[in-house]
Amino acid sequence: MRKRAEKRLSQTKTIYEMQAEICSALAHPIRIQVLEILSNGEKTVGDLLEVLQVPKANLSQHLSVLKDVGVIQTRKEGLYHYMSLSIPKIKDACSIIRTVLIEKVANEEKKNIEIIRELKAQR
């Protein structure tokens, strides 16, 4: 396994590594929710905190994961930090993942029904 510093040095990330990084950033329920909320427009960290019942420090860490990978951006105005999607297409990605999920559940349902049918036929 390569060390993080080494990775940063080598610069030459493959397209697969970059894709994987984006997926890693999406790989947490809180971060998925953040993206969903932000897809309705710019929000402050406080706005997000009202919806997501998590400690402030924890949310802040998740936001920095999203920032690091470049899918959200920050604008500071006085005391408030406004967060927004920096890549609008990320919305599509999320909704496709959701669709995949729904198909998956449907798939499992179908399989279960088949199994039940077979079991009935055996009696």
Partner DNA sequence: ACATTAGTTTATATATTTAGAAACTAATGA
Partner DNA sequence: TCATTAGTTTCTAAATATATAAACTAATGT
Residues at the contact surface with a copy of itself, assessed by CB under 8 A: 14-20, 22-24, 26-33, 70-71, 86-87, 89-90, 92-94, 96-101, 103-104, 107-108
The nearest distance, CB 41 to DNA, in angstroms, is 15
Among 35, 59, 66, 90, binds DNA (CB under 7 A): 59
Size of the site for DNA (CB under 7 A): 31
Among 44, 73, 84, 86, binds DNA (CB under 7 A): 44
Residues 63-92 interacting with DNA (rule: CB under 7 A): 63-65, 74, 76, 78-81
| CA-derived radius of gyration, the chain | 20
For 23-30, the CB contacts below 8 A with 24+ separation are 24/69, 25/65, 25/66, 25/68, 25/69, 25/71, 26/93, 26/94, 26/97, 28/62, 28/65, 30/54, 30/58, 30/59, 30/62
At 79 the three-state DSSP class reads coil
Identify what 85 binds: a copy of itself, DNA, none; CB under 5 to 8 Å per kind. Answer: none
